[in-house]
């Protein structure tokens, strides 16, 4: 369903740009109209990312917090714009089902449950899925739906994926979660004290554990839940404070233009993995994330399905 909505959004954007280009041409600005129709969408992504990077810089300046500077800021602007176009124009609308789940067998060893973030679907992970397949690591990539639903409601989807991998491999899997996906996994863990025993580890990447300041402008149900100090986040923290947690790695960056300050992406007791010059989407595919996932899988290889 998310892929369908993303296709509709993309089509609406292209129609709007085409109409605007036709209007310009009708008023004697044919060249400008053609340029707008052809390059309007990439320019829009560049502008949106520029706004997010500017807001990050303003927030850091206001709170005297170290953040992305100089060439790193420019690199994030270009890289994140490209990654957003790849995700929202190609991978998620059109390629979300091109790689079916690969749950593996006991001979393949422990697997990975991949959980995407806000406004995304399983197509987000396609570049990483190719690497997992190359090393014969079993995996299941979920779709968190409905797209704007209660984060806690995604727990049943995560539970099914964990069960599927544990059954097929005979081993407790590792969970790799990006952005809001990390909160969804925490909500699943907080549902039942035994859930922590069913996974060998969890790697969260740019997850707004302490809330996302940018969510103040969100009006959807799950965006409201991600606001700093939201009642939902406070309730989650209260429930999980009395529960055992699996080994956790938290990947974060001071250049993350959507989750800041960097401490907001960290959990008490987790292994912090700092990435110097990566934005929000780039963190998911950074070598440091792959290394953290590898550490979690090595730990998982010594465990069996309880």
Query: Do 124 and 42 touch, CB atoms closer than 8 A?
Result: no
pLDDT for residue 66:
80
Burial class from Cβ neighbours inside 10 Å (0-12, 13-18, 19+) for residue 112 reads buried
Sign of the CA dihedral with 266 first, then 270, 276, and 280 last:
negative
Q: Are strands 271-275 and 174-178 parallel, antiparallel or unpaired?
A: unpaired
Please give the Cα distance from 199 to 54 (Å, whole number): 38
Helix axes 155-169, 180-191, angle to 10 degrees: 80
3-state helix, strand, coil split of the chain in percent (to 5) is 60, 10, 30
pLDDT for residue 303:
62
Residue 146: cis peptide before it, omega within 30 degrees of 0: yes
DSSP result, 225-294: HTSTT-HHHHHHHHHHTTS----EEEEEETT-SSS-SGGGG--TTSEEEEESS--TTGGGGSHHHHHHHH
SS3 label, residue 217: helix
Domain range list for the chain: 2-88, 106-300
Gyration radius (Cα) of the chain, Å: 20
Give me the CATH topology for the region 106-300.
Rossmann fold (3.40.50)
Burial class from Cβ neighbours inside 10 Å (0-12, 13-18, 19+) for residue 56 reads buried
Distances (CA, A) of 96 to 37, 80, 268: 26, 20, 34
pTM (two decimals): 0.96
Q: Among 166, 159, 97, which Cα is nearest to 138's?
A: 166
Q: pLDDT (tens digit, 0 to 9) for every residue of the chain, 306 residues total?
A: 899 999 999 999 999 999 998 999 999 999 988 999 899 999 999 999 999 999 999 999 999 988 888 899 999 999 999 999 999 999 999 999 999 999 999 888 999 999 999 999 999 999 999 999 999 999 999 999 999 999 999 999 999 999 999 999 999 999 999 999 999 999 999 999 999 999 999 999 999 999 999 999 999 999 999 999 999 999 999 999 889 999 999 999 999 999 999 999 999 999 999 999 999 999 999 999 999 999 999 999 886 544
Residue 55: cis peptide before it, omega within 30 degrees of 0: no
């Amino acid at each position: 369903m998310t892929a369908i909505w993303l296709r509709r959004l993309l089509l609406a954007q292209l129609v709007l740009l085409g109409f605007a280009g036709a209007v310009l041409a009708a008023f004697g600005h044919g060249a400008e109209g053609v340029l707008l129709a052809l390059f309007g969408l990439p320019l829009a992504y560049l502008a949106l990312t520029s706004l997010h990077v500017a807001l990050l810089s303003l927030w850091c300046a206001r709170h005297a917090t170290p953040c992305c500077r100089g060439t790193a800021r420019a690199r994030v602007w270009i890289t994140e714009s490209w990654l957003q176009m790849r995700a929202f124009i190609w991978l998620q609308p059109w390629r979300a089902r091109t790689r079916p789940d690969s749950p593996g067998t006991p001979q393949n060893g422990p697997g990975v449950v991949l959980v995407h973030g806000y406004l995304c679907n399983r197509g987000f992970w396609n570049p990483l899925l190719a690497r997992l397949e190359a090393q014969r690591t079993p995996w299941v990539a979920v779709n968190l739906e409905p797209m704007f639903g209660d984060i806690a409601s995604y727990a049943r989807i995560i539970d099914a994926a964990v069960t599927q991998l544990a059954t097929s491999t005979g081993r407790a899997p590792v969970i790799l979660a990006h952005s809001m996906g990390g909160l969804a996994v925490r909500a699943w863990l907080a549902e039942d004290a035994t859930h922590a025993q069913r996974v060998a580890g969890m790697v969260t990447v740019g997850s707004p554990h302490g809330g996302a300041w940018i969510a103040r402008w969100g009006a959807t149900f799950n965006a409201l839940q991600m606001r700093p100090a939201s009642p939902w986040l406070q309730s989650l923290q209260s429930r999980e404070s009395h529960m055992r947690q699996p080994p956790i790695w938290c990947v974060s960056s001071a250049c993350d233009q959507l989750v800041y300050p960097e401490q907001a992406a960290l959990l008490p007791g987790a292994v912090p993995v700092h990435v110097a010059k990566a934005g929000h989407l780039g963190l998911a595919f950074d070598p440091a994330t792959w290394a953290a996932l590898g550490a979690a899988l090595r730990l998982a290889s010594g465990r069996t399905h309880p």
